[in-house]
Chains A and B, each alone.
Chain A
Amino acid sequence: EAGVTQFPSHSVIEKGQTVTLRCDPISGHDNLYWYRRVMGKEIKFLLHFVKESKQDESGMPNNRFLAERTGGTYSTLKVQPAELEDSGVYFCASSRRQGLDEQFFGPGTRLTVL
């Protein structure tokens, strides 16, 4: 089966600009997660979709971040306006079931805010 894909692979923007990241999960996976790794630290949870609904968005840092999953297929994560501390690698993962199930990760989007 095709794996999780993310676009773009890299994005370099200036502070104050807007960036939209996209994730296409594995077909049939209802659960979609966004994570972020900043400066070599832990992979930090941002939010979790079950189909098109936000199951848990407790990890979203602030209201500059907006995630959507219209139709329960692909998801977008928009950062507006971007700040320097938003730089990092944004990972998307998907799983068929919630909980005790392997999460398949995408290759990540490396975001650099200058």
Chain B
Amino acid sequence: GENVEQHPSTLSVQEGDSAVIKCTYSDSASNYFPWYKQELGKRPQLIIDIRSNVGEKKDQRIAVTLNKTAKHFSLHITETQPEDSAVYFCAASIGNAGKSTFGDGTTLTVKP
């Protein structure tokens, strides 16, 4: 089955700096890659996703890149703010299968 590895497990940055979280996946059939943000005590929420037919997607301060050949994808957050502090999960899924396979999560702390 699919295996997703996520690094780093914890990340601490200064406000205004950039943060990068990296994930690799094993199943070349995976074609949908969502990223979820879980703030303390709240539910995971989708922040950005990318499908395998594109290599990069950007939404304001958040961007995701996908390298299908290397089977890895990354989340980039620029100009980080304290409210970006949360646990971030990457996931991979095969379009017609439905279920998502998640990484272990990255705890991001943005210091003011």
Contacts and interface: CB of A to CB of B under 8 A. Distances in A.
Binding partners A and B: yes
Interface of A: 3-4, 31, 33, 35, 40-45, 48, 50, 55-56, 58-59, 91, 95, 98-100, 102-108
Interface residues of B, number: 29
Given A102-B49, A105-B43, A45 B34 contact: no
B101 A45 contact: yes
Contact of B32 (A56, A58, A59, A100): A100
Interface of B: 1, 4, 6, 31-32, 34, 36, 42-46, 49, 51, 89, 91, 93-105
A54 B12 CA distance: 41
Given A42-B4, A43-B89, A105-B36, A33 B45 contact: no
A45 B100 contact: yes
A87 to B, nearest CB: 17
